[in-house]
Structure 1
Amino acid sequence: MNRTLEHILPRVQKPARYTGGEYNAVVKDRRQVDVRYALCFPDTYEIGMSNLGMRILYGVMNQMDGVWCERVFAPWGDMEEEMRREGILLYGLESGDSIADFDLIGFSLGYEMAYTNVLNMLDLAGLPLRSEERYGLSPIIIAGGTCAYNPEPLAPFVDIFVLGEGEDVSVEIIQLYRKAREECWSKDEFLAAAAQIPGLYVPSLYDVSYRPDGTLERVTPHEGAPAVVTKRIVQDFDKSYFPVKTIVPSTEIVHDRVMLELFRGCIRGCRFCQAGYAYRPVRSRDPEILLKQGIEACKDSGYQEMTLSSLSTSDYRPLEHLCDGLLDWCEPNRVSLSLPSLRADNFSLGLMERVQHVRKSGLTFAPEAGTQRLRDAINKNVTEEDLLRSCRTAFSGGWSSVKLYFMLGLPTETDEDVLGIADLAEKVYKTWKEVTPNPRRGVTITVSTAWFVPKPHTAFQWEPQITMEEYQRRVKLLREHMKGRSIKYNWHDSQTSFLEAVFARGDRKVADVIETAWRHGAKFDAWSEYFDFDRWLAAFEACGVDPAFYANRTREKDELLPWDVTSVGVTKNFLWRERERAYEAVITPDCRVQCTGCGANKLYPGGKCDA
């Protein structure tokens, strides 16, 4: 640690965020390294270190000879102030070296409200924000993650977007970079070659034109660049890298535990869910491999908690077998096992009792909508009977706390659907009373609503977000109909959800707004301590951009969408059919009942997914 850094750390909150030196962190001899990669997460250390994808890519790249991948997180405001005052550039945690001297800088984009942090981190590194202003072969700025499926709002700032899973393609980028440096390529030559690697989108190789009404007219690829870039997936999930020797943080993080990834993809077809479409096809990991990985990771790290990770944990076929095997080791070693992402239609009391017999934590279910008609419209495939049966089973087993998650503003939603949320919460409460007529303690039913944000590559990508005023009216309506002390109601902030919709479906014109807002102080926009909605409204006005054009406007079927240059493997025709079925309130069976022909199975060997 340099003396200046050592001098300023006592003046900031949580200095352990910025010191590195954690157990299992990778430190290499600079003399044995020819490629340095800065793996950046545009949020705090506590959030970034909880991200399994970061840990996987960190391990994959550090396994490569001559490659040193270091972690970089967004410094909180107090640390940023000290760094700017003392002239300390943004640095890698492992070495303390400025990332401006690294070869490749990659950002993980999981949430649109982190976009200003990407710009802030580039600036803290002393680098020009825009790709066209960075001339040399290093550093190359890369971005990946779920938000990369609509890369356009950050297109002017990023050299390469990685679509899909990064384990294999990250290695290919590094290998190409080595070749480019050895042969003295220019940056333009390197980017042109990178565009030939499947899964890589190079925005500078595409010209964008607009119609007078502001919609896209044409996206024209330069010679050699593909018209559509399709995501990459890991073909053999059993052989893919898992971080058994994982970094143990020196300070508390959000998810401070071993995370076992059961499978990727989802058999369900919720029409609002970007992850459900984007992570297809389904690929499961063998339970015996998971058992070995989980035990080894706990032994190596000393963690006393393990969680099973996926989009829908209870859809993992050998779940009970896996849990039995893990519990045989976890129980005598006092390691707790948790199962998030359970569904109300396949909740197993026996499984939950075995997993949580030491401590019964609260249960969480996500009906998403208050009436069966709307649940059918969004293809949730969960009935009121499913939910009440699961709650009855849980209450009978001793649980006294349940959280219910819903969305407001879903396509076709009416006031009847909104009030259905309150009605369903009341039915859950009555179910508890039926099961426990003489309770020793009360029950807590927490209802939370988020504002629906239409996302790219979903069946609802054409839908408008309801206006902010209408969302607030529906929140008020629901709040007034919530009854009983045992039912608590929380709702999501409307301003950040509105901006999320703008960024999620924005084009390159939104990039100017993001930069303008950042230059006027925007950063950590997901945090109430820093978020300033008026600053964003001023930025939209200064750039002559109407945010409602992106958030509140219905798209036509034949409209060219900003993200049409990217593909998750699911066809646009399939998504449109799902939209039509939503308006008919007709469900589509899950992938295990019937293949829906979405197209994603073509990405898988033999054209058959693992559903």
Structure 2
Amino acid sequence: MITKQFSRPSVKMALSDELLMKVEQPARYLGNEVNAANKDKSKAEVSFCMCFPDVYEIGMSHLGIQILYDMFNRFEDTYCDRVYSPWIDLDKMMREQDIKLFAVESQEPVKSFDFLGITLQYEMCYTNILQILDLSGIALRSADRDINDPFVIGGGPCTYNPEPIAPFFDLFYMGEGETQYRALLDLYKKWRAEGGSREDFLHAAAKIPGIYVPSLYNVTYKEDGTIDAMTPIYDDVPKTVRKEIVLDMTGAVYPERPLVPHIRAVQDRVVLEIQRGCIRGCRFCQAGMVYRPVRERDVERLKQLAVTMLHNTGYDEISLSSLSSSDYSKLPELVNFLIDECSKRKINISLPSLRIDAFSLDVMSKVQDVKKSSLTFAPEAGTQRLRDVINKGLTEEVILQGAREAFEGGWSHVKLYFMLGLPTETEEDMKGIPELAERMAEAYYEIPKEKRNGKCQITMSTSFFVPKPCTPFQWARMYSPEDYLGRARIVNHTMKQQHNQKSLKYNWHEAYVTVLEGVLARGDRKVADAIETAYKMGALYDAWGETFHYEIWTAAFEKCGLSIDFYNTRERSLDEVFPWDFIDTGVTKAFYKREWERAMQEKITPNCRQSCSGCGAKRFGGGVCFENQNSVC
């Protein structure tokens, strides 16, 4: 790592040396990392505290916060700082000693900021949101806050159904943050100068494109518990909120001097975002739907960014970030450039999100020459029938040919990702997972022994499918924890019957977490009561296996008179009004219905570069929709 002399304003640490010596990983709470902005909060007109509701090591790996942190601090009138969830040890000490939660750079209380922006990446972090508010001395519910509290704003993929956490937020930002935050900050400055209530500001903010203010909408329910209607309380508040999108990715802000954490982060490398969106139409994938249309960064800009970011951070690895890196149109040119640059300095190149059918043996071999690692592929389903249901667009022949090319290129360790509990799944589909892995192992051992690179290891990992809002599978039912574990046992038993079982390994996800994630993903505003109750009963860090307690959640739902099965296992009508239907992602509900019906018919829908499927994203006026002037969407 490079070193740097810091010149930030004098800062009084929020935690004493004595306290820091008692906590695990004290560097989590120090701030002043390499490339920190080092601005003076007292000289800014607006202060914004970015929050990742999990530990520092995970939060520092998040590209979205890096981008927004860089963007906010480029504004001369704005000071942007960061806060992360304190780990359980510090949480306990702060409560015992009445220490308020603080931002890491200024070490000032979170409550002293004008805005608290919380990124919502994963539903299982929802109790951590309440921890952040609670430790900051901010009322948990928006309705209970006053003029001295910051405005709490949520952003990120979970905002595509914000309703389970809507009462805890003053407003949500729908879509990509580069476009409308400047307008929101200017509105705040105007409101503060003129004076007015919090309600006045929120009413005005609701008119900014992409901003959703939950308190300005009434939700009514039918007798069966489903939603009847969601209605704005003012005529000038929009009935639907359309997501914001960046069309010019090349000109968009990007951190050339990204923050370098004090301690090893989960993603401890330069991250180069090559594009947004995905041309594939996997029916289970929320990101592939809500980030449409695909928009690429110019390859020359990416080359410049790569060189600059590596120089400014001292990292020894660079990763290409996108939903499907193989579909970036200039991937060979970019990778060849990176190989030339990185091989001189022994810098590793990570190429995640690669599809087997688009993976070049030439590229694989060149990357291997720099630094070898295992390959990760995601067939998602074990049989061709089920891959067609989910619109994966991969045949077994293509999968096995990709594996052969990988093995011939010198790889011997492969990770395969699948899902269990997908719509229409049968026992044959479950058994197909280890049977596919077995055929991959057979392909490895067909290679002459002298050309093999050691022993073959194929690791299968299964997660349990969680239907997400704004996808064709948003109508799908879920199952009980016992049912999910039974499916995993079928996979495990079948694996042990394979000829090459010693080359196969199987891991599966926690079923109880899956069930709760499903409720939080598709829940309505009533679920907020259960979240708050669970938090007050001790739920925290639910994304961590060692701290997740399913029994707390079942007790919380029971106490609030809510049924987990209502949100998970019941069949949903195609005409049901969903909590998230007021959000316009660009992709229409009519398209989702068509795709759901095609899934039931086991029909494939071509990707966006093959033909336009009429999803609706062409309304944004850019991206892949206009590469070849596709037919009207």
TM-score, structure 1 as length reference: 0.98
Alignment of 1:212-251 (within 5 A): 212-223=223-234, 224-251=236-263
Residues 57, 265 of structure 2: 8 Å contact kept: yes
Alignment of 1:559-570 (within 5 A): 559-570=576-587
Residues 209, 218 of structure 1: 8 Å contact kept: yes
Correspondence for 2:565 among 548, 560, 563: 548
Residues 365, 403 of structure 1: 8 Å contact kept: yes
Alignment of 1:418-567 (within 5 A): 418-437=430-449, 439=452, 441-482=454-495, 483=498, 484-567=501-584
Deviation at 1:333, TM superposition (A): 2.1
Deviation at 1:29, TM superposition (A): 2.2
Quote the Cα distance in structure 2 between the aligned partners of 1:163 and 1:398: 44
Alignment of 1:378-417 (within 5 A): 378-417=390-429
CA offsets, 1:20-54, max 9 Å, x none? 11111112223421111110000000000000001
Is 1:351 the equivalent of 2:358?
no
**1:251 maps to amino acid:** I
Deviation at 1:2, TM superposition (A): 3.0
Is 1:334 the equivalent of 2:346?
yes
Deviation at 1:468, TM superposition (A): 2.1
Quote the Cα distance in structure 2 between the aligned partners of 1:461 and 1:30: 44
Residues 241, 583 of structure 2: 8 Å contact kept: yes
1:36: which partner in 2?
47
Deviation at 1:391, TM superposition (A): 0.7
Correspondence for 2:612 among 595, 604, 611: 595
Is 1:268 the equivalent of 2:268?
no
**2:605 maps to amino acid:** T
Taking a change above 3 Å as real, the CA distance of residues 436 and 179 of structure 1, as seen in their structure-2 partners, is farther
Alignment of 1:563-582 (within 5 A): 563-582=580-599
Deviation at 1:4, TM superposition (A): 4.4
Correspondence for 1:366 among 372, 375, 378: 378
Quote the Cα distance in structure 1 between the aligned partners of 2:321 and 2:14: 41
Quote the Cα distance in structure 1 between the aligned partners of 2:624 and 2:355: 28
Deviation at 1:436, TM superposition (A): 3.7
**1:131 maps to amino acid:** S
Quote the Cα distance in structure 1 between the aligned partners of 2:195 and 2:148: 9
Unaligned 5+ segments in structure 1 are: none
CA offsets, 1:89-145, max 9 Å, x none? 111111000010110001000000000000011000011100000021641000010
Deviation at 1:605, TM superposition (A): 4.4
| RMSD across aligned positions (CA) | 1.3
Alignment of 1:129-278 (within 5 A): 129-136=140-147, 138-223=149-234, 224-278=236-290
Quote the Cα distance in structure 2 between the aligned partners of 1:436 and 1:471: 40
CA offsets, 1:457-496, max 9 Å, x none? 0000011012222211111111111031110000000011
Taking a change above 3 Å as real, the CA distance of residues 499 and 3 of structure 1, as seen in their structure-2 partners, is closer
Deviation at 1:556, TM superposition (A): 0.6
Residues 30, 104 of structure 2: 8 Å contact kept: yes
Deviation at 1:606, TM superposition (A): 9.4
CA offsets, 1:212-232, max 9 Å, x none? 111111111122111111100
**1:281 maps to amino acid:** P
2:312: which partner in 1?
300
1:289: which partner in 2?
301
**1:504 maps to amino acid:** A
Residues 116, 525 of structure 1: 8 Å contact kept: yes
Q: Which runs of 4+ in 1 moved over 6 A?
A: none
SS of residue paired to 2:229: strand
SS of residue paired to 2:146: coil
SS of residue paired to 2:319: strand
SS of residue paired to 1:405: strand
Taking a change above 3 Å as real, the CA distance of residues 178 and 137 of structure 1, as seen in their structure-2 partners, is farther
Taking a change above 3 Å as real, the CA distance of residues 610 and 76 of structure 1, as seen in their structure-2 partners, is farther
Taking a change above 3 Å as real, the CA distance of residues 606 and 429 of structure 1, as seen in their structure-2 partners, is closer
SS of residue paired to 2:179: helix
Of 164-173 and 450-459, deviating more is 164-173
Quote the Cα distance in structure 2 between the aligned partners of 1:39 and 1:317: 33
SS of residue paired to 1:325: helix
Taking a change above 3 Å as real, the CA distance of residues 3 and 287 of structure 1, as seen in their structure-2 partners, is closer
Deviation at 1:609, TM superposition (A): 4.4
1:47: which partner in 2?
58
2:8: which partner in 1?
none
Query: Paired residues, what number?
Result: 611
SS of residue paired to 2:344: coil
SS of residue paired to 2:437: helix
Residues 14, 108 of structure 2: 8 Å contact kept: no
